Structure 1
């Protein structure tokens, strides 16, 4: 949907703005070998309630899961390798800066538990990069629930029709549209980001949705 009403761009994090180098399974394999997939799915299931503000101790849960999956690895090492390691995508960060320089609000929309969000806010510098950050644990609702996007719009203080979402998940894009936002499905590895000067396919899609750069 093309619109001239867009005043704000809402960026997803994982798959758009950041990634775990090598991917989750490669990061888990040194600690769990062939049990990596089973461990990761169990860990993600345990983490899910924390995405909307649950108060469980995730590290303690990880320690139990490592024992259950037959690993003697240090929980601190596993946590650091999988949940404490993130690389930003330089090309997407460049796009964020260009959108802001053009006069639009730039905001973050991500499903995260508080333990990983802290790394993003401080070490990765997202508190400075974005005008408003919408973390699911803080909003109390996670994508793809359309309420996530309505609460994000309230926090941004904008009508949903003025917001354009960039997200790698088709389900999240559909939910955002149902909440009245415009939305683009895009992932950092779906275009040429090698020169780190801003992915042209993302820039082109933003322009087609009324973002004047």
Structure 2
């Protein structure tokens, strides 16, 4: 079946946390940053599926680690320290201009999801946004992709999924979506080649020349639970 929609992951594909999560937490916890983050990521798992409120859980863990900085300040400095990858967003706009449906498929709890929706403007950019906390299931569970396809209103075979996590790609394929493994450090020329493999036209919309350059490798901001 012809691909008519593209479903994009967020972290590592559309956006980055400069320097990575560990470095972002070090001002608050020093060499315990890694230990803390892995613990709070485990705590966060139910919230990614829309079960519970993450902020009081995060606050309690910070206090247990002896951090007396307000939780909202830490959350803003770390979880909301997002830089969008402009070359990726240019491709999204080019696809949209060429008549494809462009959609977001990401694992997020509600606070970070709301920040992406409003502050980053993703609700205005994407036709349909599929956040795990709203779908009630997180990637790589194939049910995430089945529900995303239903929300998009298209057959899974017509939706190409792009993600930087191999397990998520396999989950999408299990649900019947064509899917490709890619992150922005590979360069956007590689992404364009993947689109060509699926006969998805991007170049007709004249994406900027910068899309042909390899993006410098920086901290992807990967975490215990991939977004």
The verdict on a shared fold, with TM-score over 0.5 as the criterion, is: yes
Structure-1 separation of matches of 2:57 and 2:174: 35
Deviating beyond 6 angstroms after TM superposition, the runs of 4 or more aligned structure 1 residues are none
Out of 7, 10, 14, the residue aligned to residue 13 of structure 1 is: 10
Counterpart in the other structure of 1:64: 60
Counterparts of 1:84-103 in structure 2, within 5 Å, are 84-103=80-99
Counterpart in the other structure of 2:24: 27
2:166 pairs with 1:170: yes
**Unmatched 5+ residue regions in structure 1?**
192-198
Structure-2 separation of matches of 1:122 and 1:175: 28
Counterpart in the other structure of 1:121: 117
2:194 pairs with 1:205: yes
Structure-1 separation of matches of 2:38 and 2:142: 25
Structure-1 separation of matches of 2:83 and 2:161: 21
Q: CA deviation at 1:68?
A: 1.9
Instruction: Report the aligned-residue RMSD.
Output: 1.1
Counterpart in the other structure of 1:39: 36
Structure-2 separation of matches of 1:19 and 1:126: 15
Counterpart in the other structure of 1:196: none
Q: CA deviation at 1:209?
A: 1.2
User: Deviations 1:67-117 (Å, cap 9, x if unpaired)?
Assistant: 222333332221111112211110100110111111110000000111111
**Unmatched 5+ residue regions in structure 2?**
203-227
Counterpart in the other structure of 2:208: none
Structure-2 separation of matches of 1:204 and 1:77: 41
SS at structure 1 position matched to 2:102:
strand
User: Deviations 1:114-169 (Å, cap 9, x if unpaired)?
Assistant: 11111000000000110000000100111000011011111111010001000001
Structure-2 separation of matches of 1:46 and 1:9: 31
Counterpart in the other structure of 1:152: 148
Out of 162, 176, 180, the residue aligned to residue 180 of structure 1 is: 176
